[in-house]
C-alpha cells in the first residue's frame, strides 16, 4: 500500500486517541506526511510535562498563538486555579487560554479535520483526548462594492469568500433570533461548509425540509462554489431558466428571507443562492425597492417589453420579411429589399451569422482583461459590422436587428436571467425561418408551456400570474407606494 492510500485510511479509520503522546504524534505525522505547511511544536511545562501543538501555517493567527497560548505556557507556568484540575486539557481550557471557542475531540479523524479548518490542537502525555482552540486567521478579501449588481441607490456592500463575514452581513440587517442558520459539510475532499439561512415562522416548512434533504444527499468530491450546490439540488437540469436566484448583495438576500425564502451560503463563494426563484424575480432590480414607486413601475414595464423584444425581434423580422411581406409597410419593404439585393445568403442565415458574431464578441469582452475587454467588444462590433455590410456579405438591416436585440437583453437587471433569452433566440430563429409567424407562435407557446409547468421546490415559476393570485399580481407590474395606513 502506498503512503497516499495509507494516509487516507488513517484519516477515515476513526481510531481513538491513546494516552501515549509519542504514539499519537507518530500517527498524526503519518497522517500529515509530506504536508510541509503542518507545524508540530513541542512545549515543555516545568521541565516534566510535555505538550504537542499542531496547526497549519498560514491558517492561524500567529499573534494569538504567541500572546495567548505560547507565552502563558512558557513563561507563566501552570496557574493555581480555583477548584480541582483533572487534566492539562482542562487546565488550558478553563484557566489559561483566552480563546472564545475550544472543544475536545477523541479521534484522529476529528483532530485532523479540525486542524485543516484552522484550529490548533493540543495533546498532552497521559491524556486520551485533544483540545482544539479556534485561532483562525488566514488572509481574506475585505467587503467591497458589488461588481455584477450595480447599486444606484442602497447598500454598497457585497459578500466575500469568507462564510462568517457573509453571515454577519445578514445578521446586521435582520436583527432577530428567529433568523436561523443551519450548517452542513459537503464534499468528501473539500468538506465545504454550507449554511441554510431562513426566518423561522415565515419560511415554508415543507420547502425547507426539501432543500435540507437535497443538500444532505449531495455526493461530490469537492465543492468550490455555490454553482456546485445549485446544479446539485435544482429540480431539472434541462430548463434554460435559472431556478435559483444568485446574488452578491446582502440586502437582496435579507429581502428574500423576509419574504419566506431560503438562502444558501457556501464557504469560499461570494455568490449566495436564494430559493425559490420566480420568473418575475429575474426582471426586478434591487433598486426597485429604494426608488419612488412611479419610477419603478415605469422601469418595470420597460424591462418587460425589452425582454420580449430581445427574445422575439430577430425571429419576427425573419418571418415578416421572408413569409409575410404584406404585413410590413410598403415603403419599408422596398427599403429592405433594395438593401438586400446584393446579399448572397437568405435572411435566416444572415441573422444566424450576426447572432453568433455578437455572442462571440460579448464573450470576448467578458473573458479579456478588464482594461481591454470593453474596447475590443465595442471596436470589434463596429469594425466587423461595417466591413460585412460594405463587403456585401450581410445587409445593413440585419446588423440593426441583431444589435437592437442584443442591446435590449442588457436591460435585464439579472445577468444570469439574460442567458435564457439568448439561448431561446436560436430555436425561434429556426422555427421562424421554416414556418414563418406560425413557427414563431409555436416556439412562444412551447416556452410558455414550459414556464407554466416549471415549479422549482414546489413553487410555480410564473406565480402570481399563473396560478393567478390577484392580491400579489399588482406587485408584479407596479410597485405600490409605501406609506401610513388609515
User: For 301-353, how does the pLDDT look when each residue is reduced to its tens digit (9 = 90+)?
Assistant: 999 999 999 999 999 999 999 999 999 999 998 888 888 887 888 999 999 98
Query: What does the block give as the cell for 115?
Result: 486542524
Do β-strands 272-275 and 38-45 pair in parallel, antiparallel, or remain unpaired? unpaired
Q: Which residues pair with 199 in a beta bridge?
A: 179
Q: Is the CB of residue 170 less than 8 Å from the CB of residue 253?
A: yes
Q: pLDDT tens digits for 280-298?
A: 999 998 888 888 888 888 9
Q: How many CB atoms lie within 10 A of CB 430?
A: 15
Spatial distance between the Cα atoms of 192 and 185, rounded to a whole number of angstroms: 5
Q: How many CB atoms lie within 10 A of CB 164?
A: 14
432 or 71: which leads in pLDDT: 432
Q: Which residues contact 453 (CB under 8 A, 6 or more apart)?
A: none
Q: pLDDT tens digits for 77-98?
A: 555 543 443 455 555 655 455 5
Query: What does the block give as the cell for 409?
Result: 437583453
Q: Is the CB of residue 456 less than 8 Å from the CB of residue 242?
A: no
Domain range summary for the chain, segments of one domain joined by +: 3-134, 163-277, 289-471
Count how many Cα atoms sit within 13 Å of the Cα of residue 485 in the half-sphere of its side chain. Answer: 1
Say what the pLDDT of residue 454 is: 94
Say what the pLDDT of residue 175 is: 94
Percent over 70 (pLDDT), the chain: 87
Handedness of CA 78, 82, 87, 92 (dihedral sign): negative
pLDDT for residue 228 is more than 60: yes
Mean pLDDT for the stretch of residues 154-158: 88
Amino acid at each position: 500500500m502506498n503512503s497516499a492510500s495509507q494516509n487516507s485510511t488513517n484519516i477515515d479509520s476513526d481510531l481513538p486517541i491513546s494516552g501515549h503522546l509519542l504514539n499519537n504524534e507518530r500517527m498524526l505525522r503519518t497522517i500529515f506526511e509530506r504536508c510541509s505547511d503542518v507545524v508540530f511544536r513541542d512545549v515543555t511545562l516545568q521541565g516534566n510535562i510535555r505538550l504537542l501543538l499542531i496547526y497549519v501555517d498560514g491558517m492561524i493567527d500567529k499573534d494569538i498563538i504567541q500572546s495567548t497560548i505560547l507565552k502563558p505556557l512558557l513563561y507563566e507556568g501552570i496557574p493555581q486555579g480555583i477548584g480541582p484540575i483533572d487534566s492539562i486539557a482542562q487546565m488550558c481550557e478553563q484557566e489559561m487560554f483566552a480563546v472564545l471557542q475550544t472543544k475536545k475531540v477523541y479521534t484522529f479523524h476529528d483532530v485532523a479535520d479540525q486542524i485543516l479548518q484552522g484550529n490548533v490542537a493540543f495533546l498532552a502525555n497521559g491524556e486520551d483526548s485533544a483540545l482544539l482552540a479556534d485561532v483562525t486567521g488566514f488572509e481574506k478579501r475585505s467587503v467591497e462594492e458589488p461588481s455584477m449588481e450595480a447599486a444606484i441607490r442602497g447598500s454598497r456592500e457585497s459578500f466575500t469568500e469568507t462564510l462568517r463575514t457573509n453571515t454577519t452581513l445578514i445578521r446586521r440587517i435582520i436583527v432577530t433570533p428567529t433568523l436561523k442558520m443551519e450548517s452542513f459539510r459537503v464534499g468528501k475532499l473539500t468538506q465545504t461548509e454550507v449554511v441554510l439561512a431562513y426566518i423561522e415562522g415565515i419560511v415554508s416548512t415543507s420547502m425547507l425540509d426539501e432543500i435540507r434533504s437535497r443538500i444532505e444527499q449531495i455526493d461530490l468530491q469537492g465543492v468550490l462554489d455555490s454553482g456546485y450546490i445549485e446544479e446539485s439540488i435544482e429540480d431539472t437540469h434541462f430548463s434554460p431558466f435559472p431556478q435559483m436566484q444568485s446574488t452578491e448583495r446582502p440586502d437582496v438576500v435579507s429581502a428574500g428571507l423576509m419574504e419566506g425564502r431560503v438562502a444558501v451560503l457556501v464557504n469560499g463563494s461570494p455568490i449566495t443562492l436564494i430559493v425559490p426563484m420566480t420568473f418575475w424575480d429575474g426582471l426586478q432590480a434591487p433598486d426597485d425597492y429604494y426608488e419612488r414607486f412611479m419610477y419603478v413601475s415605469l422601469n418595470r414595464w420597460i424591462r418587460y417589453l425589452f425582454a420580449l423584444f430581445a427574445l422575439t425581434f430577430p425571429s419576427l423580422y425573419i418571418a415578416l420579411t421572408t413569409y409575410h411581406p404584406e404585413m410590413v409597410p410598403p415603403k419599408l419593404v422596398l427599403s429592405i429589399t433594395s438593401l438586400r439585393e446584393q446579399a448572397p445568403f437568405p435572411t435566416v442565415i444572415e441573422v444566424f451569422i450576426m447572432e453568433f458574431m455578437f455572442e462571440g464578441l460579448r464573450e470576448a469582452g467578458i473573458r479579456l482583461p478588464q482594461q481591454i475587454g470593453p474596447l475590443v467588444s465595442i471596436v470589434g462590433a463596429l469594425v466587423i459590422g461595417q466591413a460585412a455590410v460594405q463587403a456585401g456579405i450581410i445587409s445593413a438591416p440585419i446588423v440593426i436587428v441583431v444589435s437592437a436585440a442584443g442591446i435590449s437583453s442588457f436591460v435585464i437587471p439579472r445577468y444570469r436571467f439574460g442567458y435564457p433569452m439568448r439561448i431561446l433566440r436560436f430555436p425561434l430563429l429556426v422555427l421562424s425561418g421554416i414556418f414563418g409567424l406560425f413557427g414563431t407562435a409555436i416556439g412562444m407557446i412551447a416556452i410558455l408551456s414550459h414556464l407554466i409547468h416549471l415549479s422549482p421546490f414546489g413553487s410555480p415559476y410564473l406565480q402570481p400570474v399563473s396560478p393567478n393570485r390577484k392580491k400579489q399580481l399588482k406587485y408584479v407590474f407596479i410597485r405600490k407606494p409605501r406609506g401610513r395606513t388609515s
